[in-house]
């Protein structure tokens, strides 16, 4: 198995990578919050699936072109999409960082996870930088099983022997804020071959950047004068008025 080193360059044109990041950010920070605001329900358990649906919608409207297509495939009742760069022979799948780490940990699968099949066929000749050597084979499925599953996923659109390379775009978020996006090249065992941060393409939240900062607590301002302060009372005419101390005076 040959070891593949990827330089810190994009497998596709930069504009494609920018648009992928934009598709993710728009879904998390705009589309899902707007949906929740307009369709508020007692419980919102479907939001975890809605996020992926919105990302796929944005891939269709923002990324797809003459050279970039979406392949649709099914897993039971779940409907998935894989982005394909026909010109550069690159395929992409988008998922959360948390989900990517969880996939290889599940050992009781009765059929391959789609990423297992894709990585086995498209990245089968790669080897991660840090691969643990074991005495027992770690493969859950035979090559022919993974190969047949791959053919079902691509449904004749791609030739398994045409030299495509697969990249996983992972993201992390908190509530309605996109925190990070990475481009991951993995071997068939989900070991990292190379990784490239795409955080520079996350559009900043200008509402946060331009928000008024709290005033410096050390800066003192002259208290406003009231009408009572502007009227001087001569001593001797009326007894001097002593105001009670205010509570919690600084």
Which stretches does DSSP call E strand in 46-89? 68-75, 78-85
Distance from C-alpha of 21 to C-alpha of 199, rounded to nearest angstrom = 9
Distance from C-alpha of 84 to C-alpha of 92, rounded to nearest angstrom = 6
Q: What is the pLDDT of residue 76?
A: 83
Q: What is the pLDDT of residue 41?
A: 82
Burial class (CB in 10 A: 0-12, 13-18, 19+), 170: buried
Distance from C-alpha of 219 to C-alpha of 79, rounded to nearest angstrom = 58
DSSP 3-state of 38: helix
Q: Which mean pLDDT values do the consecutive 10-residue runs of the chain (250 residues) have?
A: 50 95 97 89 82 96 97 90 97 96 90 95 91 56 95 95 96 95 96 95 70 46 47 46 43
Burial class (CB in 10 A: 0-12, 13-18, 19+), 92: buried
């Amino acid at each position: 198995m040959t070891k593949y080193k990827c330089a810190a360059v994009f497998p596709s044109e930069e504009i494609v990578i920018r648009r992928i990041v934009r598709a993710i950010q728009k879904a998390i920070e705009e589309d899902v919050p707007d949906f929740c605001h307009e369709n508020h329900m007692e419980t919102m358990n479907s939001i975890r699936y809605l996020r992926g649906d919105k990302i796929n919608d944005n891939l269709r409207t923002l990324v797809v072109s003459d050279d970039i297509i979406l392949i649709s495939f099914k897993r039971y009742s779940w409907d998935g999409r894989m982005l394909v760069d026909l010109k550069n022979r690159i395929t992409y799948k988008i998922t959360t960082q948390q989900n990517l780490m969880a996939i290889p940990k599940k050992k009781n699968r009765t059929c391959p996870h789609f990423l297992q099949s894709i990585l086995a066929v498209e990245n089968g000749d790669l080897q991660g930088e840090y691969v643990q050597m074991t005495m027992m084979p770690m493969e859950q499925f035979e090559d022919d099983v993974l190969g047949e599953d791959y053919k079902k996923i691509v449904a004749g659109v791609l030739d398994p022997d045409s030299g495509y390379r697969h990249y996983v775009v992972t993201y992390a978020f908190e509530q309605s804020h996109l925190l990070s996006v990475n481009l991951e090249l993995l071997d068939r065992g989900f070991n990292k071959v190379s990784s490239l941060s795409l955080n520079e393409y996350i559009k900043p939240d200008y509402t946060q950047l331009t928000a008024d900062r709290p005033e410096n607590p050390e800066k003192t301002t002259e208290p406003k004068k009231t009408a009572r302060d502007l009227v001087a009372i001569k001593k001797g005419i009326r007894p001097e008025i002593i105001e009670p101390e205010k509570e919690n005076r600084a």
